Every structure is written in C-alpha cells, then in structure tokens.
C-alpha cells in the first residue's frame, strides 16, 4: 500500500504507471456503436417514464384540492398521453436496434419465463451484451442484489441485506419480474414457496427469485441454449 499525506498529478501518474506495470490490465476496447445507440434509447425511455410518473403523481395530488382542477387534470392527461406515445415509439425502435445488434442473445434471454422484452433489453444494455460476465455471481452483483453482512464480534449483528451497489433501474425492473416469475416460472415458484414455508418474509423471497432469474439468464446466455422450464425433470 502507498500511504502518503500529499497528492499531486505527478504522484497520481506514477501510481497509474505502477498499476499498469504490475497488473498489466487489458487494453480498453471501445464498445460497438450499436451499444451506444441502444443505451441512448434506453436512457430516453427511462427519462420519459420518470416524466409520466411525475405528472401522474401531480394529477393524484391536485385532485385533493378543495377547488375545481379539471382543466389542469385534462392538461396533464394530454401530456401523459403524448409522453406515453413517444415512449412506446422509442421502445419499438430499441427492440429493432437490439435485434440488429444482439438478435440471438435477445432471443435467449426472452426465452426465460418471467423475463420480458423490456427486462431483456435492460440486461443486455447494462452488461454490454454480457461482456466480461464470467459467473452468475458477477451478474447478481452488477444488479445490486448480492447479499451483504454487517457483523463484528458478538455484539454487532446487523441484518443481511442486499448491497444495492448496482443498477437501480435494473434492480427495480427485476423485482417486478420476480413478482411475475414466482407465479409463471415453475423453478422460481418452487423456490418462493419453499422460502416462505421456512419463515422468510415474502419480499426477501422475491429477491431470491430475482437472483434465481439472473442465474438462469446467465446459464442460457453462456450455454447458448433456449430456456426449458422442465429441464431438470428431463435430465433426471
């Protein structure tokens, strides 16, 4: 470790040089142009979603006013309608770009029950087409769903929680997928029911389902095999 009291550009450059000599990191490769196009579209969709939510909340709050607010409500509803149309158009374009960029991967990810096209797009874009993903644990960590423990001696014993150091939007979308998968995906449903029976609260069980989904997604992508809901039963 290099513990120093002072900092300067010269010292920073030296440490970077030493890191390069000692670790020999791979030369950075610029992502494909298609990745940047898809990411820009995805970010725009997120922005439109936030605006729609904002105006929807304003309509809800303004209805509580003790005076007539119908004109304002109609104005906001028109804005929401227009924003929703633009969002839908961008989602269609995004899917077209994804097909041109990672058609096979999109097909593999969407084959998993509980993962829709919107979530598949989020996963592919966020991981740059699962680049440098060597294990499902890395994917779970990327999404901020890996467990973290806070404990010291016998007196400090914090609850095990998810770290949340990852993609907030991806985590939110995956949670909604988890709610769907615990009903439609047989493997996820079995996991959810087993954890609830053991006394786990339902929210923690849904998080476990999200991790299960990511594990399955990683498997189908790396093995380049379409998801089979009864794969275990067939191989047994």
pLDDT of residue 236: 31
Query: What is the percent of the chain where pLDDT is above 70?
Result: 89
Decide: 121 and 101 in contact? Cβ < 8 Å.
Answer: no
Instruction: Please count the other Cβ atoms lying within 10 Å of the Cβ belonging to residue 55.
Output: 17
SS3 15: helix
Q: Which residues contact 101 (CB under 8 A, 6 or more apart)?
A: 32, 34, 35, 37, 38, 129
Decide: 148 and 162 in contact? Cβ < 8 Å.
Answer: yes
Characterize 143-172 residue by residue with b for buried, 16 or more Cβ atoms within 10 angstroms of its Cβ, and e for exposed. Answer: bbbbeeeeeeeeeeeeeeebeeebbeebbe
- The whole-model pTM stands at 0.81
Number of H helices, E strands in the chain: 9, 4
pLDDT tens, 189-220? 999 999 999 998 899 999 999 999 999 999 99
SS3 161: strand
The tokens 């467990």 sit on which residue? 147
SS3 151: strand
- Report the C-alpha gap between 17 and 12 in whole angstroms: 9
pLDDT tens, 58-109? 999 999 999 999 999 999 999 999 999 999 999 999 999 999 999 999 999 9
- Report the C-alpha gap between 226 and 220 in whole angstroms: 6
pLDDT of residue 7: 85
Q: Which residues contact 147 (CB under 8 A, 6 or more apart)?
A: 160, 161, 162, 163
- Report the C-alpha gap between 103 and 98 in whole angstroms: 6
Start-to-end CA distance of the chain, whole Å, equals 51
SS3 166: coil
pLDDT of residue 142: 85
Q: Range with the lowest mean pLDDT among 30-39, 42-51, 71-80, 226-235?
A: 226-235
- DSSP assignment, residue 198? T
């Amino acid at each position: 470790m290099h513990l120093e009291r002072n900092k300067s550009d010269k010292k920073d450059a030296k440490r970077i040089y030493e890191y390069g000599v000692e670790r020999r990191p791979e030369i950075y490769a610029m992502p494909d142009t298609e990745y940047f196009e898809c990411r820009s579209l995805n970010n725009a969709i997120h922005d439109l979603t936030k605006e729609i939510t904002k105006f929807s909340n304003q309509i809800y709050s303004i209805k509580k006013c003790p005076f007539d607010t119908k004109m304002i409500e109609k104005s906001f509803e028109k804005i929401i309608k227009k924003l929703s149309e633009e969002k839908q158009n961008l989602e269609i374009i995004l899917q077209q770009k994804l097909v041109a960029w990672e058609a096979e991967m999109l097909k593999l990810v969407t084959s998993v029950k509980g993962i829709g096209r919107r979530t598949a797009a989020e996963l592919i874009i966020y991981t740059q087409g699962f680049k440098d993903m060597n294990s499902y644990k890395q994917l779970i960590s990327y999404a901020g769903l890996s467990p973290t423990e806070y404990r010291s001696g016998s007196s400090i014993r914090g609850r095990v929680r998810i770290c949340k150091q990852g993609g907030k939007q991806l985590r939110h979308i995956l949670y909604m997928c988890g709610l769907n998968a615990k009903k439609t995906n047989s493997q996820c449903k079995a996991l959810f029911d087993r954890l609830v029976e053991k006394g786990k609260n339902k929210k923690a069980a849904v998080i476990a389902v999200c991790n299960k989904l990511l594990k399955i997604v990683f498997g189908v992508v790396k093995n380049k095999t379409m998801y089979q809901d009864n794969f275990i039963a067939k191989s047994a």
